[in-house]
A and B are shown apart, each in its own frame.
Chain A
Amino acid sequence: MTAVIHAASGDVDPEFRLPTHGLEAAAARLALAQARGRQAHASLLTGPAHAGKRRLARWLAQAMLCLHPSAGEPCGACRSCRLVFAGQHPDLMVAASPLKVDSTRQLLADLALLPLESPRRVALLADIDQATPGAANSLLKTLEEPPSRAVLILTASQPERVLSTIRSRCRIISVRPPGAVIVAELLTRLQDVPPDAAMALGRRSGGRLDWALAELEDPAREQERIEGLLLLERLLTAPRSERLRSAPEIARRTDALDALLEGWIGWWRDLLLWRSGLPDAVVNRERSVSLATFAEALSPAAILSMLSLTEDALRRLRANAAPQLVLETLILEMPS
């Protein structure tokens, strides 16, 4: 579906084809540095997950590899740009994520060669915060003294989990999501999403275009989100014994936990908005009926406390706490 955004032709890797929609400010800053010949040998793009870091990283790589850049921006038409779009550029190396030590070493060895077709060799290392310690350490030497024509572009959604020795060797660029209003506008303009639905999706995405696009592309995610909310509502009305029983079961779905808790945080926020008399601002409109019921039953203090507890739980999960323990604590704290 992303191909709609840019009239794509032939075998195009859609992710490469997305321009810098919603990230214009960061892109302009990078282009300026680029045009003045002040590009850093290593950049670390930080920002929330699905904020468009990887998209911007690829755009930056394309700008660095482009044979006829204008004002630091890629031309989009030269052989180099075409190869980047097709995912076939010989001087662009994209590391598989999460980074492992063997593939990183291989990539760094490739990076030590001089460029084949472009003025530089660029390596894209996404989610450096997820890298194994060995992989992260193997990068240090190259980050410290990179080969003269090599450029590394790293991304991380949790920069505090990146080795400080990596952070200190990179130019840090924070990628700020464009915000719900702009996302909604883009969704309407580019993907013909009706304004109402676009605004709801924009809010739900937390103003992150890539998150919204991913949900548009994959209806299963929407389904999963609603099921997650139903689960939360069920838990709130269930007796303690049943709640405790369900914790290990939920904890087993390790891959979906992050999204689940993000959904719960949104739901608690909606409840608070509803309770404060702002029912139009809620994100999870399809749950209005139950939001109304719960808003009546719970005090603002209880809602606020649950919101912050859920946020804490998500933070702990991301910091690698045991999922079952985190969930048990959270679920038992829920008001009955």
Chain B
Amino acid sequence: MNNKITCPVCGYDGFDHLPQQYDICPSCLLEFGVSDVDWTHDELRQDWIEHGAKWAWGSQDIPRPANWSACRQLLNLGYRVTPSDLLFMGITDLNADELARAQNRLTSAGKVCVGERRDGYQIQPSDVTVGSVFVISSGHVNARLSKPDAQSCALG
């Protein structure tokens, strides 16, 4: 049984004690009693996801747990990633099972595509594979897909 405390923003569940003011979550860098004074946990979670949902926001200076997965960790909160979350996050840290579940969700949610390129090509769930890289810039989602004919493109 896991008696550890869970971060309300990212689902990190490694706290040994109830976080005090100024304690920082090593995963999403929420500073308790600082970051969450003016912003809700939902707002902070979305911001973390839109920045890629990376461990320590991509810093190497805080040791990352082995086999860490943002999607798996978010499930600690009951939060399930959405197709747009996947675009922000990339899915390179998903294993095959998680990938299959993500793709199923894309389909079962009635969304047969995760976006449309400016040339009209409908991006299919099957285009989203391990190794897909998504880059956000200038208000557009630029997707670099792993399909042979894919190229960097702008969505939306």
Chains A and B belong together in one complex:
no
Residues of A within 8 A of B (CB): none
